[in-house]
């Protein structure tokens, strides 16, 4: 809806002097600019058609980065002013203060994308948080849609970039910097937090409709009917993927079966593998150290020859087991026989260890006891690492993982004992005791 | 569509209590529920990953599922420490989630 101003009223008074730019906390004014900025940054020009929320939003170029607060408006002095403010300038919150929100761009900058890569690769993802609260994309009005998001930067960025060209509100919950799906599982992306943030943002005064769009993957934490009972807002579940949001809204809040289904295709799986490899590498480093020390200790003292001949092969086989469990198994997940992740990982481990031992001739170089050890230990290590991928997969449930562990853990313990016995036997042979 | 282990899901649907609001059909990310006449019905229980979204969004108590994290490292940590399995995403850099 467009409205026209006859006169600039309400918040839109020019500054009395250059240093106090009216009531507007425009970026330039707060940055100590000597220019009178209020007339251009805060207010609509006379007789110009303006959208409802145009007043608090200066042009993009004047934004410090992407953030702008909307406290440009004073409480209304006259009835006319009050009317204009209600419709044209400020959105009062529950407390009678103007609702505060920040405007964000739908464009992902180079540094945003760099942050996303760092999130995927490592522990940085735990510190990529944004402030919870209300955000504006484009120039939303009181009829614009409200999307709920988590305060994990990556989740928020994917949502805002999916809203390019739209005018919408984003209400960000405090999920402790965790993505929607995981936070919903914990309950931090949940009913209580939605109710709390709706209250804090004064959402009831920001929009006239009573509808919030919650990502479908937030479902495990959100009780739609409880949110409605507490706030009056109806929860509409959006599609699984933010990239489908526009099509979803355009179709009248109807998601196709495709949009409602969580996928786990090759790209989805590959992008998760760095976070499988990372924790596995810690144990791999420990394994490599122990392997090198164990083979080096000979009756004649520390042997570099043994460290090289045996140790280097064991370390390489160990690396292969990590790749097998943390990368090959996730990547080829649907094509590896069995539904069990532990069995999948074991098969992949066998498929990598056997050629590595026999096609390279390592089986002849290694002591028979070490070859035996390799055949037991590395496929089981691959299996154990692959089992960890249940935490990243989108279709494994707790009952199934419990079942895998019920059968798997005794096998892993037995395998570990046999491996230790094999290494001990190798040492005893080497030392001529057996 | 990928399926996990057979016959392990704890999903239980009580058709008697179902009012046909179809909220479960809307929220299930694995399409376990479908509209069957005026009520919901379970299509294939083995598709269920026990996320619990259906139960939480059923205002009529027609769905019960033992929801929890389907994450091996969380369950192993729970076993070792004797605590409830929690997803490790917010506390350390384990591979979970």
Q: Is B19 on the interface with A (CB under 8 A)?
A: no
| B89 within a domain of the structure (yes/no) | no
Length of chain B: 97
pLDDT one-digit tens code per residue, A136-163: 999 999 999 999 999 998 899 999 999 9
Q: Would you state the pLDDT for residue A121?
A: 80
Determine contact, residues A272/A392, Cβ cutoff 8 Å.
yes
Structure tokens at A300: 């004649």
| B96 within a domain of the structure (yes/no) | no
Query: What is the C-alpha separation between A73 and A182, in angstroms, rounded?
Result: 39
- What's the whole-number mean pLDDT along residues B69-89? 77
* Phi, psi of A238, rounded to the nearest 5 degrees: -80, -175
Distance from CA of B96 to the nearest CA of A (A): 5
Q: Would you state the pLDDT for residue B76?
A: 86
Q: Is B13 on the interface with A (CB under 8 A)?
A: no
Tokens 């607060």 map to which residue? Answer: A69
Query: What is the C-alpha separation between A175 and A186, in angstroms, rounded?
Result: 9
Q: Is A392 on the interface with B (CB under 8 A)?
A: yes
Task: Find the CB nearest B87 among A122, A185, A396.
Answer: A185
Distance of alpha carbon A173 from its chain centroid, rounded? 13
| B5 within a domain of the structure (yes/no) | no
Q: Would you state the pLDDT for residue A74?
A: 43
Q: What is the domain-level CATH number for residue B44?
A: 3.30.70.20
Tally helices (H) and strands (E) across chain A: 20, 10
| B1 within a domain of the structure (yes/no) | no
Q: Would you state the pLDDT for residue A302?
A: 85
Determine contact, residues B67/B57, Cβ cutoff 8 Å.
no
pLDDT one-digit tens code per residue, A262-292: 989 999 999 999 989 988 999 999 999 999 9
Q: Catalogue the long-range contacts made by A13-16 (C-beta closer than 8 Å, 24 or more residues apart).
A: A13/A38, A13/A43, A14/A38, A14/A39, A15/A39
Domain housing B59: 12-81
The complex's ipTM works out to 0.88
Distance from CA of A260 to the nearest CA of B (A): 6
Query: What is the C-alpha separation between A150 and A119, in angstroms, rounded?
Result: 15
| B42 within a domain of the structure (yes/no) | yes
Between residues B85 and A281, the one the model is more confident about:
A281
Q: Is B27 on the interface with A (CB under 8 A)?
A: yes
- Structurally, how many domains does chain B consist of? 1
Q: pTM for this structure?
A: 0.75
| B2 within a domain of the structure (yes/no) | no
pLDDT one-digit tens code per residue, B56-67: 999 999 999 998
| B77 within a domain of the structure (yes/no) | yes
Residues of chain A with pLDDT under 50: 1-97
| B97 within a domain of the structure (yes/no) | no
- Contact between A222 and B75 using a beta-carbon 8 Å cutoff: no
């Amino acid at each position: 809806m467009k409205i026209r101003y006859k006169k600039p009223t309400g918040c839109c008074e020019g500054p009395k002097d250059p240093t106090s730019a009216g009531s507007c906390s425009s970026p330039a004014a707060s940055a100590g600019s000597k220019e009178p900025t209020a007339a251009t940054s805060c207010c609509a020009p006379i007789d110009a058609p303006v959208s409802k929320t145009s007043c608090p939003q200066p042009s993009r170029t004047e934004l410090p980065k992407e953030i702008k607060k909307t406290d440009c408006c004073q409480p209304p002095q006259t009835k006319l002013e009050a009317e204009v403010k209600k419709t044209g300038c400020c959105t009062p919150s529950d407390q009678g203060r103007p609702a505060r929100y920040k405007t964000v761009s739908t464009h992902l900058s180079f540094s945003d994308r760099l942050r996303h890569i760092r999130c995927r690769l490592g522990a940085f993802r735990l510190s990529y948080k944004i402030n919870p609260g209300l955000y504006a994309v484009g120039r939303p009005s009181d009829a614009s849609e409200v999307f709920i998001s988590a305060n994990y930067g990556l989740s928020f960025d994917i949502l805002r970039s999916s809203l390019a060209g739209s005018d919408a509100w984003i209400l960000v919950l405090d999920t402790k910097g965790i993505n929607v799906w995981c936070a919903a599982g914990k309950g931090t992306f949940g009913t209580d937090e939605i109710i709390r943030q709706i209250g804090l943002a004064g959402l009831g005064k920001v929009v006239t409709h009573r509808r919030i769009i919650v990502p479908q993957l937030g479902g495990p934490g959100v009780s739609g009917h409880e949110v409605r009972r507490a706030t009056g807002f109806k929860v509409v579940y959006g599609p699984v993927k933010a990239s489908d949001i526009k099509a979803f809204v355009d179709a009248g809040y109807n998601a196709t079966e495709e949009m409602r289904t969580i996928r786990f295709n090759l790209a989805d799986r590959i992008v998760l593998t760095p976070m499988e490899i990372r924790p596995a590498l810690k144990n791999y480093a420990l394994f490599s150290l122990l392997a090198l020390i164990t083979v080096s200790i000979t009756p004649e003292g520390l042997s570099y020859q043994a460290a090289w001949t045996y140790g280097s092969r064991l370390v390489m086989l160990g690396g292969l087991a990590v790749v097998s469990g943390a990368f090959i198994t996730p990547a080829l997940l649907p094509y590896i026989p069995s539904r069990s992740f532990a069995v999948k990982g074991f098969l992949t481990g066998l498929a990598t260890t056997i050629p590595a031992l026999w096609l390279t001739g390592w089986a002849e170089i290694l002591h028979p006891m070490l070859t035996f050890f390799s055949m037991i230990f590395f496929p089981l290590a691959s299996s154990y690492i692959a089992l960890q991928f249940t935490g990243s997969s989108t279709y494994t449930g707790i009952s199934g993982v419990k079942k895998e562990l019920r059968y798997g853990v005794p096998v892993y313990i037995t395998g570990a004992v046999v491996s230790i016995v094999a290494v001990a036997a190798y040492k005893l042979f080497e030392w001529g005791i057996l | 569509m990928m399926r996990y282990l057979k016959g392990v899901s704890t999903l239980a649907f009580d058709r008697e209590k179902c009012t046909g609001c179809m909220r479960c059909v809307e929220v299930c990310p694995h399409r376990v529920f479908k509209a069957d006449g005026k009520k919901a019905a379970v299509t294939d229980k083995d598709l269920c990953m026990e996320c619990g979204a259906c139960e939480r969004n059923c205002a009529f108590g027609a769905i019960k599922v033992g929801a929890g994290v389907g994450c091996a490292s969380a369950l192993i940590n729970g076993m070792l420490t004797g605590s409830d399995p929690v997803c490790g995403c917010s506390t350390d850099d384990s591979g979970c989630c």
